[in-house]
Amino acid sequence: MEIWINPACSKCRSAISLLDAEGAQYTVRRYLEDVPTEDEIREVLGRLGLEPWDITRTQEAAAKELGLKEWPRDAGARDRCIAALAAHPKLIQRPIITADDGTAVVARTEDAVRDALSR
């Protein structure tokens, strides 16, 4: 499995601690440094079963500058939102774990991390 993290994020550090405590094999992706492409974001969204606005951190300064809260949330706006996430990776909710079974979870809670471990 792979986990997208920002090391400064307490939820990310908690998820890593739990993965380590469970002896999980995983790869860390510091997504602010190793920025996901639009295609990678689309793939993760498919694995999550979510839309880009579902994983967008709308309280970030860049989101406010872009006016993301006012963007439409429909099929026509999907690519625009994905492009914004790729251009401003800090807007991506974290941590995201891609599980070995092809699914993914936004691992902000211990239960979500355990869900990823069980796959």
Asked about 9 being catalytic, the answer comes back as yes
Residue type, 38: E
- Residue 13 CA to residue 22 CA, distance in Å, equals 14
- Residue 39 CA to residue 19 CA, distance in Å, equals 27
Determine contact, residues 98/47, Cβ cutoff 8 Å.
yes
Residues 6+ apart with CB under 8 A from 72: none
pLDDT of residue 75: 94
pLDDT of residue 59: 93
pLDDT of residue 119: 85
Q: Which residues pair with 62 in a beta bridge?
A: none
pLDDT in tens, 82-94: 999 999 999 999 9
Catalytic residue among 2, 9, 42, 48: 9
Rg over alpha carbons for the chain, rounded to the nearest Å, is 14
pLDDT of residue 100: 86
Q: Is the peptide bond before 95 cis (omega within 30 degrees of 0)?
A: yes
- Residues (pLDDT < 70) of the chain are none
Query: What 3-state DSSP class applies to 3?
Result: strand
- Residue 80 CA to residue 67 CA, distance in Å, equals 12
Query: Residues of the chain with pLDDT > 90: what percent?
Result: 97
